[in-house]
């Protein structure tokens, strides 16, 4: 038998107990906006658009990402205000020192602040146990200091975990994480300190993977999002589903991509009465309130 992670058991989505989202809705949609900060001239910060990482200091790559904080995030904020959309703001905590007003603008409108490490210039899987623990606890304390409460959820930079990550996250007080893109429904994972929920996150249909790594034209990427939504909306008649929409401020915040993405938003909000447009933390709270035995891993 192959080695297992031991965090969850196999479960076929077509053979699970049924449940609803609030108000009898069947499809939950959440918008996860990644905002990131990078060290200049050191650490990670490779250019996804280049065949090999450019030598440091990579001014082009650094400035491209900083565009997200100076322009793209604000553009995406205006988009959310126009269509009354909530965000989960996946936040590198170094941004509280660099551009605190940007995070505050999202926080003040009620968007959920999700832990996303200290900076995307580092990866957890390159850290030893003590270094990773310090990273998680430091990022958590920074969010609590500025927001007045601990974050409920976590997404690691580059979705990079170690064998200890889930145990450390639960120890730090996290209720859910989004690093494991294994399902279209939430799943409970085992840790040394009790269960932690895996909330669906889009790895495959992700703006950074699609638009930059795969070089999918923005028109086709947005067509893919519409197809994903339409198919999941039909399927949700049979089972509850979660559709995450993953954005990066320096990618979808570009005007030409936003022009196409606006059409996706208009298509989705036309179905607002049928779906639950929400935040991952609210999905977590709803799942926590369900009877044991309904969600995989809850027993």
Q: Express each pLDDT in 230-239 by its tens digit.
A: 999 999 999 9
* 128 CB-contact burial (10 Å; exposed 0-12 / middle 13-18 / buried 19+): exposed
Asked if 210 and 217 count as a contact pair (C-beta separation under 8 A), the reply is no
Neighbouring residues of 204: CB distance < 8 A, sequence distance ≥ 6: 181
Q: According to the model, what pLDDT value does residue 41 have?
A: 75
pLDDT for 69 equals: 97
CATH of 23-43+51-288, one of 3.40.920.10, 3.40.50.970, 3.20.20.370, 2.150.10.10: 3.20.20.370
Residue 281's pLDDT is 98
In this prediction, residue 255 has a pLDDT band, given cuts at 50, 70 and 90, of: very high
CB 185 within 8 A of CB 13: yes
Confidence of residue 214 (pLDDT cuts 50, 70, 90): confident
**Per-residue pLDDT averaged across 216-236, rounded?**
96
Look at residue 53 and tell me whether its pLDDT is greater than 90: no
C-alpha distances in Å from residue 291, one per residue of 12, 93, 176, 191: 19, 35, 18, 20
Tokens encoding 103: 């995070």
Q: What is the mean pLDDT of residues 270-286?
A: 98
pLDDT band at 263 (very low <50, low <70, confident <90, very high): very high
Q: Lowest-confidence range among 10-19, 36-45, 183-192?
A: 36-45
- Spatial neighbors of 291 by CB under 8 A, at least 6 apart, are none
The answer to whether 58 and 45 are in contact (CB under 8 A) is yes
pLDDT at 44 over 80: no
Do residues 201 and 181 make contact, with C-beta atoms less than 8 angstroms apart?
A: yes
């Amino acid at each position: 038998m192959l080695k297992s992670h031991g965090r969850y058991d196999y479960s076929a989505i077509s053979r699970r107990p049924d449940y609803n989202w609030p108000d009898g809705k069947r499809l939950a949609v959440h918008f996860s906006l990644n905002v990131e900060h990078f060290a200049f001239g050191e650490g990670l910060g490779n250019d996804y658009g280049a065949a090999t990482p450019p030598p440091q200091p990579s001014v082009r790559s650094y400035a491209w990402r900083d565009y997200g904080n100076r322009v793209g995030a604000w553009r995406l904020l205006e988009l959310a205000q126009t269509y009354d959309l909530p965000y989960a703001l996946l936040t590198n905590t170094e941004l509280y020192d660099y551009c605190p007003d940007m995070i505050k603008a999202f926080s003040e409108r009620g968007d959920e602040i999700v832990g996303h490490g200290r900076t995307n210039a580092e990866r957890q899987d390159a850290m030893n146990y003590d270094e990773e623990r310090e990273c998680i606890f430091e990022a958590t304390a920074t969010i609590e200091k500025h927001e007045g409460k601990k974050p409920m959820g976590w997404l690691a930079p580059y979705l990079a975990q170690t064998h200890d990550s889930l145990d450390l996250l639960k120890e730090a007080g996290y209720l859910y994480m989004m690093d494991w893109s294994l399902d279209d429904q939430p799943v409970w994972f085992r840790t040394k300190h009790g269960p932690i929920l895996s909330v669906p996150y889009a790895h495959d249909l992700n703006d950074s993977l699609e638009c930059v790594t795969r070089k999918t034209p923005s028109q086709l990427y947005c067509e893919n999002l519409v197809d994903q939504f339409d198919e999941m909306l039909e399927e949700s008649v049979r089972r509850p589903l979660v559709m995450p929409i993953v954005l990066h401020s320096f990618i979808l915040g570009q005007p030409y991509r936003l022009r196409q993405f606006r059409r996706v938003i208009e298509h989705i909000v036309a179905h607002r009465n049928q779906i639950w447009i929400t935040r991952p933390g609210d999905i977590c709270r709803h799942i926590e309130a369900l009877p044991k035995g309904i969600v995989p891993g809850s027993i």
